[in-house]
Amino acid sequence: MNDAGKLNSLKVERSEVGKGHAHDSARRHVRGEAIYIDDMPDLPNTLHIAPVLSLVAAGKILSIDASKALAAPGVVCFLSADDIPGKNEAAPILKDEPILADRVVEHVGQIVGAIAATSFAEAVQAARLVEIDIEASDPCFDVEDAFANGSKTCATQKLKDGDATTFIESAPHKFSGRVEIGGQDHFYLESHVAYALPGEDDEMTVWSSTQHPTEVQIHVALALGVKNHNVDVQVRRMGGAFGGKESQATIIAAIAALAARKTGKPCRFRMRRDVDMAATGKRHGFVMNYEVGVEANGRFTGLKVDAIANSGHVADLSGPVVTRALTHLDNCYHIPNSDFTGFAAKTNTVSNTAFRGFGGPQGILAIEAIIDRTARELNLDPNAVRAANYYGPGTGEQTPYEQPVEDNRIVDVVERVMKNADWEKRRAAIDQFNAENKILKKGLAMMPVKFGISFNLPTLNQAGSLVHVYTDGSVHLNHGGTEMGQGLYTKVAQVVADVFGIALADIKITATTTSKVPNTSATAASSGSDLNGAAAFNAASEIRQRMVEIAATELGAAAEDIHFGNGKVSADGKSINFSELAKLCWMKRISLSAAGFYATPKIHWDSEKLKGRPFYYFTYGAAVAEVVIDTLTGENRCLRADIVQDCGKPLNPTLDLGQVEGAFVQGMGWLTCEELWWDEAGRLKTVGPSTYKIPGSRDVPPEFNVEILDDQPNHEETVFRSKAIGEPPLMLAISVWLALRDAVSSISKGKLPANLDAPATAERVLFAVEDMKARTARRNST
Amino acid sequence: MSSSIDFVLNGQPVSTRCRPDTTVLEWLRGDALLRGTKEGCAEGDCGACSVLLKHAPTEADSVNYQAANSCILLMGQLEGAALLTVEGLAQSSPDGHVIQQRMAENGSSQCGFCTPGIVTSLAGLLDQNGSPKESDIHDALAGNLCRCTGYRPIVEAAFAAARSSDSQLPKSDDNIGKDVVGAEGESVFHLPQTLAELLKLKNEYPSAILLAGGTDISLDVAHARARWERVICTRDVKELQVLQVKDDVLTVGGAVSWQALLPHLETHWPSFATLVRRFGSTQIRSMGTLAGNLATASPIGDGAPSLIALNASLTLASNGVKRVVPLEDFFTGYRKSDLQSDEVIEAINLPLPQAGQGFRAYKISKRYDQDISTVCGTFSITFADGKISNARIAFGGMAATPVRCKQAEAAIIGHELNEGTLAAGKAAIEASFKPMSDMRGTADYRSLVASNLLERLFADLSGNVVEVMSL
């Protein structure tokens, strides 16, 4: 590890950092002035693209006839796999995913070709005229069938620690079971879009709604058969992404660029919502089969889990998603013997991809379901089972992947949330409500979350930035992170403002561009501000250190006495304006520009054995949720949620609060009303908001209390000792699902575990109620 | 023939010769280069495309601007109207409309893509209701999805804006639209002013699209990019704007919007009003009509079951002929009805509740607001001497059409509200239907829920709290 990647040791006072500044684009958002890619005015002769999708789940392409489409008004060209001058390759890790289907189709909705026409309407109309003759073969839609047949998209992963088999066998109590977890569509409000502009020779500029401009650059270059330096990818902002624009943007951008290359004209490819939902990946559904051994007090002796992910037709990011699921199966619990298998099942559905939490939510849901089951089976309080298994503070207990759980705040966050939620009193009130009400039943549940921060693969934990100071003291800021609504641009600008001691308004935030900062990682894994904030800190610190030398001479002071703040640079009672110093540096021929770089320290990972220290640090949170269910219809509702989330020393508490609330509601949607539904032919029928229901404003718990913990700086040396926030709070919504299980269990006075999978739609809740009534009756009769 | 479309856009008169079957969203983002208004779904369900629309007042409807989905609104429907977009709101003062200020300050946007639509919907709410309750804000937001924020900062901003005195929208001049716009050979959009004119056009052009609010049929344009050579819009037909109570019957003209109808439902059948607020957002209700909901003959149209239970009838008009059809006889098959090609729905006739008559409408869906029913159960029950003296029960989502369940009615009429009656009624409902499975629910679920709704009804009529939303 070289020094260039370390966080600069410069001591900087907090001024803008820590304030709850509004999102930098807030005023533009509310006035309709924020420009998204589809809002850029069309350049003359711009063509619009509509894709041609497979209507068949599996088969061989015998022929594609675009003659009728080509004869339609406004149509300029049709693109198929044969029109790709370079490589027909879109996969982020393996080489298994074509941009355009070549010879075979593997899911309904796969993009087989594309029409470019002079208007969007003409393109859409003509795309319907393309005739594809496909010889259908037998599709596979069932992950457990694929598991049984060993049909997978990437290598099976094993995470083993100790001897789970023996310790489950010898345990006083053992159970086995199965939990099925549904997927989730990202439903970013802005569907995928790319706009490609051909330049001189091999040059191509692509505006892409992507979290990963570098990956888009690489794949556009591959598709065009040109070197990366010919392709510039830009994105100022996305209208939401949530992981759905990490690897998925490459196909859209590549098709736009291919059409631009073929026609020589600017090409715009905006996916209509139904196309986006049919053709792009989602959160992985999982089936979790488990065996657990438990002592009488609820302490785990050993745990075996087969985590079977629905990978879809290709791997995409399924490998690392499965890794994160396996490395979060422990959640906050020390499992002395573990044997986890991760399997990415190949099915004839759209390839699943990154989604906020990236496998972590599915892993954590599984262990929480196991805890709920264990508690009911042993007639223990679920929270007592949790407490019996928490990683002990200061014990140095290790996760199954051998990372010690340091900076352990589990008990702390749990105690706080139980207090905030007034648990004891409400538990009693709910039990009484349930005793008095036959139709409506309430449930209550608490769960903690420990989430590992860093990409599992150490290589990805690097970032770059580019900072310029102009002679009027204004600052141009650029970095490799992308803005999808999370407020990353604002946070990084706060960091740079404080390095220079200037106002936030003096920082110009600029679009992410591969030609300014190269070879970036995706803005993902909650790492955006940790990585890019640190890279920008390093660039700005380097410039400041150069400026200090000039200031010291000018002010006649020692370099170590120079202070930056309030737009001034001062020492010993003398000061000059920051802008004057900038001008002075220019006159003295001092560079006012620097590229910053950051690489996360301490991390290492053996991806074969799944051992090492993949995470720089952990972040902790806890939630209590109260729900009510209708035992006649299964309708359900979260009535109250209390959340405690550890944010280290926040860069921006307002933005962090927004992440916590938004992630919780999004997670609640995943586990309740959002259901992906395919028909027998493998067609996804929930391809728009009329059929795919994300939470609305009335679905938010009427009482919703969030406490941001800002009392403990990150014990690792992150930028301003902040902590990541993007993904962790999503998992707190599992408390809602657990509370629904509790409500169902109340029919048996809490004695029996609910047979409830996710999402807990009204239908699943009603059938879990029916099942619970039947089991309770059997139990009472014996 | 070629006639421009004339309307007021953000306070300025506009005259355009675009095809009248172009969506307003496409025109705004294209010809007008006003790209603050976004496309999120092109099916009227996410609200990113929301605009504020004001029509010339009618007898039934005299409100100022109302939110509408521009993705399923056609340019022909703008003739004579006034439109406000997010850009227009931003121009209203140096810092824009008060909701824009409060949202910008309050962390109410993250990615910002849904934000212009939310701004627009809330500006519409605040114009009509200066002191909204939380439920009013949720009603106003029912057609606006946000995937980032979790809504709390949006709802808070709406409260904050309501405390300000300057949330009123400008009053637009009332314009009278022309009765036809567009160009022969491309797309012609008729806006007849009288029933006679409407029926004459219907007779002359039987294959023309008959358009009320367009909240269902215009999806063909928004989604599939269909092109319509001729549209006959019922909006301006005086006789179809009737909304009155006479001889204990509420008459709802064929062009009356759900929004205009809602206060009457609130007065006479609060449970029906609750259902109506749920199945369509403000944007949908401001454009959509009860007549249109029935004319599509959808098995899951939420208007029909309640109206069947309430023994409504339809007045159907064609050139010179009128006939009255009980609604329960109107639906003839999946998306098929007794409406003839030269006929229009002139009015829906709803008998007002009688003494002892109670009405309940229960809708089961994946989400409370703005969702299509998995099952919709409606019950009109009359009690006399402690017994059920009359009952009309109808369901949606259980068969190819909305249907009455006479077997269940027979099982409970003449009996008291007790366990035995309930069991007989539930068994009758279960025996009456063989529903289908789809993305909204399996056949088993639909069957179980439909019969359980009778149990809910009995508990409800006995004074119990029976819905999760009541807590």
Which chain A residue shows the shortest CA-CA distance from B23?
A: A121
In whole angstroms, what is the distance from residue A301 CA to residue A165 CA? Answer: 10
Q: Is A586 in the B-facing interface, judged by CB distances under 8 Å?
A: no
Decide if A629 touches B, using CB distance below 8 A.
yes
- Chain B residues in contact with A35 (beta carbon < 8 A): 35
Sign of torsion, CA A141 A144 A148 A150? Answer: positive
pLDDT at residue B148, rounded to an integer: 98
Q: Which residues contact B351 (CB under 8 A, 6 or more apart)?
A: B248, B249, B250, B310, B311, B312
Residue of B nearest to A672 (CA): B366
pLDDT band at B50 (very low <50, low <70, confident <90, very high): very high
Contact list, B112 vs chain A (CB under 8 Å): 23, 25-26, 28-30, 34, 237, 239, 485
Residues 685-714 of A with CB under 8 A from B: 685-686, 688-691, 693-700, 704
Given CB atoms, is A575 within the 8 Å cutoff of chain B? Answer: no
Query: B368 and chain A: CB distance < 8 Å anywhere?
Result: yes
Q: What is the β-pairing status of strands A703-709 and A636-646?
A: parallel
Instruction: Pick the residue from chain A with its C-alpha nearest to B154.
Output: A697
| Beta carbons of B110 and B180 less than 8 angstroms apart | no
Which B positions 38-57 lie with beta carbon below 8 A of chain A? 38-46, 48
Q: Answer yes or no: do B40 and A242 touch at CB < 8 A.
A: no
From A33, A664, A698, residue closest to B369, measured CB to CB? A698
With tokens 């008729």, the residue in question is B190
Low-confidence stretches of chain A (pLDDT < 50) are: 1
Instruction: Note whether A15 contacts B: Cβ–Cβ < 8 A.
Output: no
A chain contacts of residue B455, beta-carbon cutoff 8 Å:
439, 632
Q: Cβ of B459 under 8 Å from any chain A Cβ?
A: yes
- CB B110 within 8 Å of CB B142: no
In this predicted structure, what is the pLDDT of residue A326? 98
Q: A379-410, pLDDT tens digit by residue?
A: 999 999 999 999 998 788 999 999 999 899 99
Mutation for B interface: A356, A673, A697, most B CBs within 10 A:
A697
Partner-chain contact A696 B368, CB within 8 Å:
yes
Quote the minimal CA–CA distance from B225 to chain A in Å. 6
Q: Do the beta carbons of residue A134 and residue A62 sit within 8 Å?
A: yes
Q: Which of B27, B119, B29, B117 is nearest to B78 (CA)?
A: B27
For residue B32, pLDDT over 90 is answered with yes
Bin B383: left if φ > 0, else alpha if -120 < ψ < 50, else beta.
beta
Residues 370-409 of B with CB under 8 A from A: 370-372, 374
**How many whole angstroms separate alpha carbon B33 and alpha carbon B358?**
53
Q: Is the pLDDT confidence value at B371 over 60?
A: yes
Do the Cβ atoms of A35 and B456 come within 8 Å?
no
User: Which residues of chain A does B152 touch, with a Cβ-Cβ cutoff of 8 Å?
Assistant: 661, 700, 704
What pLDDT shows up at residue B111? 98
Q: How far A720 CA lies from chain B's nearest CA (Å)?
A: 22
Q: Which of A707, A717, A727, A770 is catalytic?
A: A727
Look up tokens 């299509």; give the residue. B372
Size of interface A-B (CB pairs under 8 A): 268
Please give the angle made by the CA atoms of A21, A27 and A28, to the nearest 5 degrees. 125
Q: What average pLDDT does chain B have?
A: 95
Instruction: Give the chain B residue whose CA is nearest to the CA of A760.
Output: B366
Find the closest chain A residue to B120 by CA distance.
Answer: A30
Q: Which of B96, B111, B365 sits opposite A239 (nearest CB)?
A: B111
Q: Report residue B420's pLDDT band, with 50, 70 and 90 as the boundaries.
A: very high
Q: What DSSP character marks residue A630? A: E
Q: Which of A736, A703, A711, A715 is nearest to A645 (CA)?
A: A711
Give the lowest-confidence range in A118-127, A392-401, B119-128, B229-238: A392-401
Chain A residues inside the 8 Å CB shell of B367: 673, 693, 695-696, 699
Q: How far is CA A423 from the centre of its chain?
A: 31
Residues in chain B with CB shorter than 8 Å from the CB of A439 are: 455-456, 459, 464, 466
From A277, which residue of chain B is nearest by alpha-carbon distance? B41
DSSP notation for B18-49: S-TTSBHHHHHHTTT--TTS--S-SSSSS-TT
The percent of residues in chain B predicted with pLDDT above 70, rounded, is: 99
pLDDT given for residue A1 in this prediction: 41
Q: Which residues of B touch A633 (CB under 8 A)?
A: 364, 449, 452-453, 456
Segment B423-463, tens digit of pLDDT: 999 999 999 999 999 999 999 999 999 999 999 999 999 99
Please give, rounded to a whole number of angstroms, the shortest distance from the CA of B279 to a CA of chain A: 11
CA closest to A668 among chain B residues: B150
Judging contacts by C-beta atoms under 8 Å, the chain B residues touching residue A698 are 138, 141-142, 368-369
H/E stretch holding B449: helix B443-461
pLDDT score recorded for residue B60: 67
Count the residues in chain A. 782
Buried b (16+ CB within 10 A) or exposed e, B16-28: bebbbbbbbbbbb
Residue with tokens 């933005």: A655
Q: Would you call A727 a catalytic residue per the annotation?
A: yes
Nearest residue in chain B measured CA to CA from A241: B111
CA-to-CA distance for A722 and A700, rounded, in angstroms? 28
- Please list every residue in chain B whose beta carbon sits closer than 8 Å to the beta carbon of residue A28: 112
The pTM score is 0.98
Q: Which of residues 321-360 of B touch A (CB under 8 A)?
A: none
Nearest to A85 by CA among A269, A221, A265: A221
**Contact A125/B at CB under 8 A:** yes
From chain B, pick out residues whose CB is under 8 angstroms from the CB of A186.
Answer: 147
**Residue range B180-197: mean pLDDT, rounded:** 96
A28 in contact with chain B, both atoms CB, cutoff 8 A:
yes
Phi, psi dihedral angles at A345 (to 5 degrees): -75, 135
